[in-house]
Structure 1
């Protein structure tokens, strides 16, 4: 009845400016699997979170207005200790630059997701559709891959 409380897996999602897909991955992991993960996102740099993303997410019923872009040094929103169990890079260029320079050797996963630079939109509606598709892809990836921490560990590449 009063079972032992399982320790949450500490996960850090990483992209260059922590302004798009890492924010989505953090948001959806908290929403779907908050009981399994202590989840964060950051990047080597920080910027503002993509405003179009916030708007489209809000229209889809997801409020990200309180999320904040963070860099690796931001201790107001990240763990004081860098003792993450898994680090998931969502950009290959950031992985290539940082994977060998981090203290997280043997805990890193690369799963590259699309960036807005790849969007092919000629008007606001097409742009909103591009964001919606990206949001759906990240949500699906989180549902599929974050459901089982053991499966996730098999994806470690560095």
Structure 2
């Protein structure tokens, strides 16, 4: 097989696989949204437990524990809806990306082997996966299966 044929076949294959991009972006949005939504509902259902954690366990920089708890709860209850629906996706994903970093840094129990060792090792794997998916959404947007796409088509 010559190089031209191989390149042509590779181009056809990658074009065929590209149809999966909107589905992959939708699954990233829904997966991450569910994770954050569940965390928010736990905080909402147990405000005294949430207050305890923010007062005693979490070490959120620059914010009073009560304010951090309130912001965390509302962030986790509201932004996942925007993310799942694909509305303002890049901005929402960027906010949640930073929020995810703050969550990891604020809770040392997630990285018992040290933050840098845990970053390369097996600590806080969920947060790493969410962070990578959020970063992809910041870079690529919501995709065709989203309200962002509907709004974009409407105002074109």
Give TM-score, length-normalised by structure 1. 0.27
* Bigger Rg over Cα: 2
Please state which structure has a larger fraction of its residues in strand: 1
Tell me which of the two structures has the higher relative contact order, counting C-alpha pairs closer than 8 angstroms and 6 or more residues apart. 2
Please state which structure has a larger fraction of its residues in helix: 2
Give TM-score, length-normalised by structure 2. 0.27
